[in-house]
Structure 1
Amino acid sequence: MKPVSSVSLTPQDPWTIPLFIGGAVFTVEGIAMILPIENRTRHPKDYTGPFGMVALATATNVLVNLATGFYGYLAFGDEASGNILVSLPNMWLYRLVSIMYASMVFLTFNLQLYQPAEAIYAWLIQKVKSEFVHKYGNIATRTVLVILTFLFAVLVPRVDLMMALIGAFCAGFLVFILPIISELLLLHSEPGGIGWVTWVKDILILLFGVLAFVTGTYTSLRDIVKAFNLKH
């Protein structure tokens, strides 16, 4: 582990900041899962609130990722790869870390793909009137999603850049832009209207979201093109 004074605390390339924002949003964003999981919980009151399941899960996720990024950068510096597991030494202890991480992904993968699988299956049974689709469509949908995810991880040369692209383009829109627009439209029809504090807060978040959306998408696409050109 290197001392903090031995590593650079400022980015050498300012364009890496949008990549960081996109990757960070992709890592901690789970807004698409909040409502579906809440609808299935036995005690919805324990799900939200300052000490609810969402707050605790998000805080834990942020702290774990902060610790991984902080200590990973202290250990490897600028030589750290997009996947920190690739940078670990080839020793049995670090192999155990990789096995634990793979087990975590395996056990939680069903939850992560729950909403897309349900949405695709509901669309299928509406469009295709077949007993086979009604009986095996759900399993087939989940199988195809798993295979596509596997191929995505194998074929994409720089998964970290693709994560940044998805975080900036998709998750950034869902996290920063769409909720603000929805809140303004909803409060606009309320009797009290929109207060100035809400206006200032929403405008600042919206501007940040648009900036992160544009710069993150551009930077990640640019670096993905560079990565493919270097590979070929």
Structure 2
Amino acid sequence: MQNDIKNDSIVCSEKISSTDDYDPHMHRNAKNPTNNWQTFAHFLKASIGTGVLAMPSAFAHAGYVNGIVLTLIIGLLALYCLHILIGSMYVLCKRQRVPYVSFSEAMKLGLQQGPPALRCLVPIAIPFVDGFLAFYHFGICCVYVVFIAESIKQLVDEYFVTWDVRLHMCIIIIPLLLIFSIRNLKLLAPFSSAANLLLFVGFGIILYYICSNLPPLSDRKPFEHYTKLPTFFGTVLFALEAVGVILAIEENMATPRAYVQPCGIMNWGMCIVLSLYVFLGFFGYWKYGDEALGSVTLNIPQSEIPAQVVKIFFAITTYISYALQGYVTAHILWSKYLSKRFKDVSKHTLYELILRTVIVLLTFCCAIAIPDLSLFLSLVGSFCLSILGLIFPALLQICVQYERGYGPYNYKLIINLLLLIFGLFGGIVGTYVSIVDIINALSK
């Protein structure tokens, strides 16, 4: 094992000096590449999910001053980590002379080339990262099943007949199977564009409600007690982070360099996302204060037509997001593990569709089996996202920069160590708070 690692390091060292002219982006050959506008639509749809509706509730746990400042800090940290992650993956591609390496493959290569003390983690790097990504995005799909079914139930209860939410889950299985059978992001792009349009119209209606008859701002707290901040941290990070989908979007681009440029897709997209999150969080908290619920759609008048339209719009956009989030789980399981087991290539499409059907049915079963799924997934989200979105990118750059150095005064090493500490602290505290919430909910 040690000899293999040593040989890998020697080979990589030789390649560093001989591959400076190799540009992985020029050799990228995606099957169904997306253009910049399609990629931008996917980025917005992946980053603006149901979590944004919880921002007023998140601000209620932080105060409006803390909420604005900390949302921007967390968002910029998440964006920075995405940049160092994609940048480190690019460097590894350049060293290995390959067009693309996945997140998990990058972690393995990085650990092989990083500090010797970390090389014992090489054997578990790929299954560990893949497992976290697949499980987290599977969990998001479970939440989406519940959200869509509850949105439909509220409408049906209002105008037709009262049914159990589980019946509505059964009804949406076929539509979910249909959209989840779309196996490439290029075909999903028109759906993402339409969903983004519905999102912004829906937000406009919500803002109409929350910006009318605002109480005096002095009635709201600029700062909340620090003991409430872990809940705020978990909510914002869960809402902002979609690292698996964001990497999948970049992988399928026709011009991947446009993704990470200073005025590129990722930076512009995150500016829009952060502005929307801060705006909705601030005005939602200003309007409803501590009475802000887990989804702001529950605070607006339930019987009025515009409010019902909002529920329809968000149910549709969440339905489309289901296909985007589930793409990560299906892609990892099929492309990396299962496709190799079936030698008859002519049946790969059929087998992949069967796998996607199984994933949909499993998300449906989990949504039905667990009464309050959001509590359990907030636990998984706090744990997984701190690792995937903060700790792993920082650790990867530490490894990738190990041979070249960390710059003047080792500033890159210091920044990444701070990110590791922040990620560990946020993950531990967020996990603890989630466990306490679960215990309290079960004891009621």
* Contact 1:19–1:164 under 8 Å retained in 2: no
What is the CA distance between 1:219 and its match in structure 2? 0.6
Whether 2:338 is the aligned partner of 1:124: answer yes
Deviations 1:49-104 (A, max 9, x none): 22211122222222222222222222221122212222221111111111111121
Unpaired runs of at least 5, structure 1: none
What secondary structure sits across from 1:176 in the alignment?
helix
Whether 2:396 is the aligned partner of 1:197: answer no
Q: Which amino acid aligns with 2:298?
A: V
Partner of residue 221 from structure 1, selected from 426, 431, 435: 435
Unpaired runs of at least 5, structure 2: 1-213
Deviations 1:14-62 (A, max 9, x none): 3321121112111111222233222211222221122211122222222
* Contact 1:168–1:217 under 8 Å retained in 2: yes
Distance change (3 Å), C-alpha of 1:46 and 1:171: same
What secondary structure sits across from 1:113 in the alignment?
helix
Partner residue in 2 for 1:102: 315
Give the distance between the partners of 1:153 and 1:79, measured in 2 at CA: 27
Partner of residue 138 from structure 1, selected from 324, 337, 352: 352
* Contact 1:47–1:53 under 8 Å retained in 2: yes
Give the distance between the partners of 2:243 and 2:233, measured in 1 at CA: 16
Q: Which amino acid aligns with 2:293?
A: S
Give the distance between the partners of 1:67 and 1:145, measured in 2 at CA: 35
What is the CA distance between 1:215 and its match in structure 2? 0.4
Aligned length: 227
Partner residue in 1 for 2:396: 182
Partner of residue 157 from structure 1, selected from 372, 392, 408: 372
Give the distance between the partners of 2:430 and 2:270, measured in 1 at CA: 22
Whether 2:439 is the aligned partner of 1:206: answer no
Partner residue in 2 for 1:54: 266
Q: Which amino acid aligns with 2:390?
A: F
Matches within 5 A, 1:84-99: 84-90=296-302, 91-99=304-312
Distance change (3 Å), C-alpha of 1:68 and 1:25: same
* Contact 1:168–1:213 under 8 Å retained in 2: yes
Distance change (3 Å), C-alpha of 1:131 and 1:48: closer
Give the distance between the partners of 1:74 and 1:120, measured in 2 at CA: 44
CA-based RMSD: 2.5
Whether 2:257 is the aligned partner of 1:45: answer yes
Partner residue in 2 for 1:173: 387
* Contact 1:24–1:167 under 8 Å retained in 2: no
Give the distance between the partners of 2:293 and 2:249, measured in 1 at CA: 33
* Contact 1:22–1:166 under 8 Å retained in 2: no
- What TM-score results when the alignment is normalised by the length of structure 2? 0.47
* Contact 1:22–1:164 under 8 Å retained in 2: yes
* Contact 2:250–2:256 under 8 Å retained in 1: yes
Aligned sequence identity (%): 28
